[in-house]
Amino acid sequence: MARHVVVVGGGNAALCAAISARECGARVTLLERAPFDLRGGNTRFTAGAMRVVYEGVDDLVRLMPDLTPAEIERTDFSCYSAADFFDDMGRVTQYRCDPALVDRLVNDSYPTLRWMQSHAVRFLPLYGRQSFNVDGRVRFWGGLTIEAWGGGPGLVDSLTNAAERSGVALRYGVRAVRLTTQSGRVDGVVVRHPGGEESIPADAVVLAAGGFEANPAWRTRYLGPGWDLARVRGTRFNTGDGIRMAMDVGAAARGHWSGCHAVGWDANAPEFGDLDVGDGFQKHSYPFGIMVNTRGQRFVDEGADFRNYTYAKYGREVLMQPGQVAWQIFDAKVTHLLRDEYRIRQVTRVTAESLDALAAKLEGVDATQFCATVRTFNAAVDQSTPFDPTRKDGRSARGLEVPKSNWANPLDTPPFEAYAVTCGITFTFGGLHVDADARVISEEGAPIAGLFGAGELVGGLFYFNYPGGTGLTSGAVFGRRAGAGAAAGD
């Protein structure tokens, strides 16, 4: 008789686990806490970008067979090697990331996307967010080239369709509340739904229910004071259930429990993500301008690196500012470079024809200090170095208390635009000890029989920061691995 695998969660990692387990011959039940209309976890709120190793355009054509000869001719896709991916993971996490997990992530990234493609997931170039036109050619930058067709919502729909075609039983509005065990082995899940509680027996359980970013009490307990004030970029249902259930049966905690992925998010965004807006509340073009707090002072190096490698940590910096708010300032020289999220209807924006007039419109900002900050910044810009948004151009503003290392331009060309941002938390970095085969590890250091983990609740991958597009790739890689392991048994 086929093994029964229960998958807890409804996003990218959970769906990949369910499809993989079914592909390996298991009978699979997926439990999604959210109702059908809100399904998909944080995946549904993403742009769908996925970081993947590729050696050149031929690898990309295999993933994106719809690429036309004309697109290939006019585009510089470059390559993104395994060494590049390893270097990025090490550098941004201050070399604390688990080597075995990173090895699995990097080396399985391309095969996993090819596997997803075999289940009718489509990919396309990330033109709108990761490329610029330079001298008539499209140039990608930052090692991030691919997105799922339809973004996060499209990815959820594609994987859901694949799961349904393969025979996975999908149950919505069902919250897993605890694991059951016998003789040290996980043998089922207790769930809660409108009809009451129900015990579902299983030969193995895959936990892929996200982190604890939507739990303000846990955020404050583990991330620190003030984190209860952060907005949640995605689903309201990621409250740490999977982590708690596993630890209740002896799983070890692991990773950066006081760290998280947090970004600049529109100051007037709602408490939780809005599916109609998706990730449009994010504001990630700050490398081309400056950010000031309500004191009128800059507080980060906006050009420290490509936004891929700073955006996930700068949300924390905004949260630490007075009132948990900051303003991003741009002039007319660069507004054509702003990402599409700056043009949504729900944006918090002010414009003016002079800096003095702009200062008067920046709610809560010390106007005198703001104007002084801009004058000092403008005078410090090295205008002898050419501006190039597709590489770290070295065009800097030095001699300041907070320097700007790249893409520095004086703010001197009206009209001026300013965007109010706060902190939007995406997911938490702390989670469970999970090995490279996606097995959940106990506090004694041994795998817990019958228990696997994938997605945001995997601890040990990310510390302090995060390379853009790695989350979905990680979820798919370890979800696929977890499903296969759960179906195979010990």
Please check the confidence at residue 315 and state whether its pLDDT lies above 80.
yes
User: Per-residue pLDDT averaged across 245-262, rounded?
Assistant: 98
* Among 375, 369, 340, 360, CA closest to 418: 360
The domain made up of 4-211+429-488 has a fold known as: FAD/NAD(P)-binding domain (3.50.50)
How many Å apart are CA 177 and CA 190, to the nearest integer? Answer: 6
Question: CATH: 3.40.50.300, 3.90.700.10, 1.10.3720.10, 3.40.1010.20. Which one for 262-424?
Answer: 3.90.700.10
User: Per-residue pLDDT averaged across 434-460, rounded?
Assistant: 98
Q: What is the dihedral of CA 65, 66, 71, 77, to 10 degrees?
A: -40
Each residue of 351-392: pLDDT tens digit? 999 999 999 999 999 999 999 999 999 999 999 999 999 899
For the record, the structure tokens of 444 come out as 């004694």
Contact partners, residue 177, CB within 8 Å, separation at least 6: 190, 191, 192, 197, 241, 245
Each residue of 101-139: pLDDT tens digit? 999 999 999 999 999 999 999 999 998 777 888 778 888
How many Å apart are CA 464 and CA 472, to the nearest integer? Answer: 18
Please check the confidence at residue 444 and state whether its pLDDT lies above 80.
yes
pTM: 0.94
Please check the confidence at residue 147 and state whether its pLDDT lies above 90.
yes
Q: What's CA 480's distance to the chain center, in Å?
A: 19
How many Å apart are CA 348 and CA 341, to the nearest integer? Answer: 11
Residue 318: its H or E element: helix 311-319
Q: Residues spanned by CATH 3.90.700.10 within the chain?
A: 262-424
How many Å apart are CA 180 and CA 186, to the nearest integer? Answer: 6
Please check the confidence at residue 490 and state whether its pLDDT lies above 80.
no
Please check the confidence at residue 409 and state whether its pLDDT lies above 70.
yes
